[in-house]
């Protein structure tokens, strides 16, 4: 396994934009896939390390387990949004009043900390919402309920990409936007970008290969 610095990537987009499909060509032997959505994958599932946790606590434990597993080089958490839904439901079942949101915000902080410190490349999918920034602009930001983390989740990720789909010549074209167009929080370190390239097809293998090429020099 590479000893290079691991990166944390958020892939953001609404349903049907090809987020999960972006991981279809990852190495099935060295990828750990955590399917919080609980839905069948939209491609043949050959991942050796694959799980469908039933609770947010199980998701957290699987992250720790996959971090320690020497066979795993890349981890996918699909999705942050499903994790939050499960967390909030559990908080409402077990807590009252302000304690609901105290638990919710605290556990989000714990999850984001482990993602930020994760010892391997990790990709986390999420839905977005429109949020007004401190500068007064309105941007697509990772969706989260409450106020404490609203518009703030992206700062815990080194890379933020946005998945999208357009109809071109009556065919669906799925893509990943790598940098902000002024309406999103997308960001990618310039060293990972081919000159002039702001968008890639929704397949993360070439991007991971590019990261390895740059970081292993």
Q: By percentage, how much of the chain surpasses pLDDT 90?
A: 76
Query: Is there a cis peptide before residue 79, judged by omega within 30 degrees of 0?
Result: yes
Domains of the chain: 8-215 (3.40.50)
| CA gap 35, 148 in Å, rounded | 26
The conformation of residue 80, written as its DSSP 8-state character, comes to: H
H or E segment at 109? helix 98-116
93: helix, coil or strand? helix
- Cα distances from 160 to residues 69, 109, 125, in angstroms, run 25, 18, 10
For residues 166-182, average pLDDT? 87
Instruction: Please state the rounded mean pLDDT for residues 178-207.
Output: 88
pLDDT in tens, 68-87: 999 999 999 999 999 999 99
Task: Identify the pLDDT of residue 196.
Answer: 65
Pairing of strands 49-51, 74-78: unpaired
Confidence of residue 2 (pLDDT cuts 50, 70, 90): low
Q: How many helices, marked H, and strands, marked E, lie in the chain?
A: 4, 10
Better-predicted residue by pLDDT, 217 or 216: 216
Q: How far apart, in whole angstroms, are the C-alpha atoms of residue 72 and residue 17?
A: 27
Q: What is the pTM of this model?
A: 0.93
pLDDT value for 147: 87
**pLDDT tens digit string along 26-84?**
999 999 999 999 999 999 999 999 999 999 999 999 999 999 999 999 999 999 999 99
Range of weakest confidence among 120-129, 152-161, 166-175: 166-175
Lowest mean pLDDT among 48-52, 118-122, 146-150, 165-169: 165-169
pLDDT digits (tens, 9 = 90+) for 95-131: 999 999 999 999 999 999 999 999 999 999 999 999 8
């Amino acid at each position: 396994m590479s000893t290079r610095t691991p990166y944390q990537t958020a892939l953001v987009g609404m349903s049907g934009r090809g987020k999960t499909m972006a991981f279809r060509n990852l190495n099935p032997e060295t990828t750990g896939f955590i399917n919080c959505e609980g839905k069948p994958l939209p491609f043949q599932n050959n991942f050796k390390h694959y799980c469908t946790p039933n609770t947010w606590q199980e998701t957290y434990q699987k992250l720790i387990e996959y971090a320690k597993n020497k066979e795993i080089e890349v981890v996918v958490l699909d999705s942050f949004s499903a994790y939050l839904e499960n967390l909030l439901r559990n908080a409402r079942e077990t807590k009252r009043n302000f304690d609901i949101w105290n638990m919710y915000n605290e556990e989000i902080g714990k999850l984001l900390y482990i993602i930020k410190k994760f010892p391997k490349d990790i990709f986390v999918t999420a839905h977005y919402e429109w949020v007004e920034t401190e500068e007064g602009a309105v941007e697509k930001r990772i969706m989260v309920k409450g106020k404490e983390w609203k518009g703030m989740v992206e700062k815990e990720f080194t890379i933020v990409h946005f998945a999208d789909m357009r109809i071109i010549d009556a065919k669906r074209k799925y893509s990943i936007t790598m940098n902000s167009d002024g309406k999103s929080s997308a960001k990618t370190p310039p060293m990972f970008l081919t000159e002039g390239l702001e968008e890639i097809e929704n397949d993360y293998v070439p991007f991971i290969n590019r990261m390895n090429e740059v970081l292993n020099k």
